[in-house]
Structure formats: C-alpha cells, structure tokens
Structure 1
C-alpha cells in the first residue's frame, strides 16, 4: 500500500509510510483510515479503526517485479500464520487473532507462477486478498485482480460529480442509485477467463498527495501545487472494498473468532452489490470542460456497486448470532 518497509526487512526507508515518496500509497491508505484537511478537520475513511501494515513491493517510482509482490504477500501470510498459531500474541491487541486483509492497488499484464502460489498460500492460511481490476479499459483486467480467487475491484463514479463547488463534501448522493452510477472508461473490462467481482468509487477520489516532501501534482493538474488531489483509478476503488471487508471482519470478530473466509467474503460483497442494469450515463468531464456520454457493456460491471450497509445485512442474515 505504501513505501515504508522493504519486504526483505533490510532497509527502513527514510520516507514515512504516511507520507511516502510516491504518493500513491498515502492516497489509497487515507481512503481506508482517515486524513486531516490542512489540520482543520478530519475526513474519516471507510474503516477508520483499521490498523495499517505497510509493505513495500514497488519502487519509489511506482513500478516493480512480480517477485517483490509475491514476497510481500508471503510476508503477510506468514505474519498471520504466526498470529494465529500464537493465539493472537503477535500483533496488538493481544489475546485475539487479528484478521488480515492484503489490499493491492497494483497490477500487471500477467500472473506469475510465484504470485499465484503466494496468493493461494495466503488464502489457504486465512488471509483475505483484494486487488484492483486495472485501468486498461477494453484491453482487459490486470493481475492479480483478474485471478478468480482474488476479490477484484473496478472503478465507478457518480453522475453528480463536479455539480457544485466543493461537491465532494457538500453534495448528497441520492439513496436511489438507479442511473446515478457510471462505470469509468478506464476501468478494466473482464475478458474470457477473467473475474471482475464488484465496483467501488474510483473516479475523482480526493485525498492527500504530497510525495517527495512537497506537492507533486498529477499530470492533469497542470503544475498547480497543492496537498490534496482528486485521483481516479481502480487503485482508488480498491481500498473502499478493503475497508468494507474490514468492517465485516470487525462484526465477525464479535464472538472472538473469525467465521469468514475469502470465498464467503467475496460472496457477501457480490450478493449485496447494487446491480447496474443500464449501460450509459452523461457526466461532466473537467478535463474537457463539458458533459460527455460514457458507455459500457456488461463485462464492465461485475456484480455491481459495493454497498456496505447491504453487505452487513447479508452477513447478519448468515450469522444471526452476531446481531446486537
């Protein structure tokens, strides 16, 4: 998620994980936990109580090798196995086995055998894995997101984006989502043999972005400095699902044990998603300064848009003893 720790354990980078030198990790992590806006007020994330374990698998420039990704997955898998075997005495809070989610806002054109084995092993020991579907549009999904056992996430947006100044914090998304959601053009479509599970907000997601110790604007910002940027990508959608899964696991842990597994968690997220039955929407594109029509096919929507409240309801239907 960020760039603080080398997976080999050899080096602790001077750049702290909460302000990494690339910016990507900090932005997606803020979606899960929280971020403070100019030290004035705090915007809570999807799961503000989650504990982040940053593991570096990419270079500071944002690229890397499948061997490093596999090593990062194995690091977390072994950490969780040690946590489970110790009865929850490796990570705080002690005395309870803490569930772990690997959230991967990354991807590549193929799945190496090493990555596949690492993913399979991690899932087999009880780790949950969520990954971005990719930003290749009609060219298909990236890996490991396209690998069926992984919970994959595509990017959706809201037709009311940019409707008013400060829309991201003042506008109220309607309760009836019919026609209000669109699939971004960049969100990877599922080709034969690929598995797209759910969509989540991934268009113009605001968050902190200050790599290199100073503002480093995205290309579309035209060099205008700042500390917070709207970024779009399935990378931004992924932490919404990882955070939602963290909430489900918090509820799951009310009886002191973990009942969910990767397969069941995926089924709950898919079964509670809002079905997108339409195939086009008109949205304002600030890069073009006009309203454009966005179109997509069924291979772009997966099982629909993430709904955390419905996922909780479905979980409680399956595990009624967890109701308070």
Structure 2
C-alpha cells in the first residue's frame, strides 16, 4: 500500500503557494499526512508519495462541506458548469484534493515508468506467489527495486498551514513511513 504526504510549504504564502518550487532531496520539506495509511499488525505499508493538496479537476457535481451540500468551496464556485446558455464552459473546476487515492496512482505511474525503462520487467515481477496460496505471497523484484530506492523518512511532527489558513500539526511514526518517500529519479536510477 501507499501512504500520503505533502510539502510543508503548502498554503504558507496564501493562494500562490503552488507556484513555488519544492526542493528535492530535503526531507525536512515533506511530511506524512494524518489521514495517511498506517501499518497495522499483519499489514504492510510499502512507500509514501504525494497525496496532500493536489490541484486537480473535479466534476461540477454537488459539493460537500462538513457533510452538507454547498454551492462552492473556499476559493471557487461551480459556475463553470456547462448549461444550455453556456455550452462551452468546462464541466469541472480545479480543487485542491487530498488522499491516498492520489498517492497510489502516483506510485503506479512510477512503476509504469520502471516497466517502460526495462521492457524485460513485467507485472509478474511485482509480486511472488500463487493466487490461491497467500503463504507464498511476497515482494517481487519490481517491488523490491521500488522500496529499496525510496528515501527513508524518520518519524516526526511538523506544523503546516491548512487550506483555511489555520495551523495544523501533522505527526507520524514508523508505522506511517514504510520504506520511505518515492522520488521518481531515484527509482528509475535503480532500474537496470
């Protein structure tokens, strides 16, 4: 599984924080989100990747805030929804979204790049074992390359700025870091 993290500079400079350059290789600049996966007994957390405040298209459907339908978000309304009078409007808006649902596809994309770099690798290299024998399951060579190329993250705590401007303390232990943060360049360098 994949954990979700973010950059400590998110929202610090207001609405333009996403125009900043995130320093690579400086682990003091990243954190593991409080909602991220935590390894429990009998479970396994592989790596951590981006998953906090990603700017993404979101369909103009009913938006919810604290369980209640709302016509907008903190920064945008869904006025871009196409209507008969405004047929050329995009049926989506861009929102800052968080979740491990975005970390996992990021890592899947990295794995796709690994497979592209070495066509001799395949999905079969992702895991060992047979489907009907869970005792035989284990990491395959592809998974081992991904995990071994991750940069270890120490347990920690950091105060970050939440999207509404308030401070939020994020704290994580070794159960939240897996093999570490996945950097695309490091992972691809590990692929023969």
Give the superposition deviation at 1:163.
2.4
Counterpart in the other structure of 2:137: none
Give the superposition deviation at 1:259.
5.6
Q: 9, 17, 20: which one pairs with 1:167?
A: 17
Q: Aligned equivalents of 1:242 and 1:207: distance in 2?
A: 17
Counterpart in the other structure of 2:144: 267
Taking structure 2 as the reference length, what is the TM-score of the superposition? Answer: 0.75
Q: Aligned equivalents of 1:197 and 1:300: distance in 2?
A: 10
Q: Aligned equivalents of 1:259 and 1:296: distance in 2?
A: 34
Query: CA distance change for structure 1 residues 185 and 209 in 2, over 3 Å: closer, same or farther?
Result: same
Q: 63, 66, 76: which one pairs with 1:217?
A: 63
Give the superposition deviation at 1:158.
0.7
The structure where strand makes up a greater share of residues is 2
Counterpart in the other structure of 1:242: 108
2:56 is the alignment partner of 1:194:
no
The structure where helix makes up a greater share of residues is 1
Q: Aligned equivalents of 2:54 and 2:64: distance in 1?
A: 13
- Residue deviations 1:108-165 (CA, integer Å, cap 9, x gap): xxxxxxxxxxxxxxxxxxxxxxxxxxxxxxxxxxxxxxxxxxxx11111110101233
Report if aligned partners of 1:154, 1:301 keep a CA contact under 8 Å in 2.
yes
Give the superposition deviation at 1:218.
4.4
Report if aligned partners of 1:272, 1:310 keep a CA contact under 8 Å in 2.
yes
Q: Aligned equivalents of 1:243 and 1:219: distance in 2?
A: 30
Aligned residues: 157
Give the superposition deviation at 1:217.
2.8
Q: Aligned equivalents of 1:205 and 1:296: distance in 2?
A: 20
User: Secondary structure of the equivalent of 1:172?
Assistant: coil
Q: Aligned equivalents of 1:196 and 1:242: distance in 2?
A: 15
Q: Aligned equivalents of 1:175 and 1:228: distance in 2?
A: 25
Counterpart in the other structure of 1:296: 172
Q: 166, 177, 184: which one pairs with 1:308?
A: 184
Unmatched 5+ stretches in structure 1: 1-151, 320-324
Taking structure 1 as the reference length, what is the TM-score of the superposition? Answer: 0.46
Report if aligned partners of 1:179, 1:278 keep a CA contact under 8 Å in 2.
no
Counterpart in the other structure of 2:54: 205
Unmatched 5+ stretches in structure 2: 79-92, 127-139
Q: Aligned equivalents of 1:173 and 1:205: distance in 2?
A: 13
1:1-324 paired onto structure 2 within 5 Å: 152-164=1-13, 165-168=15-18, 170-210=19-59, 214-219=60-65, 222-224=70-72, 225-226=77-78, 227-253=93-119, 257-258=120-121, 261-262=125-126, 263-287=140-164, 289-315=165-191, 319=192
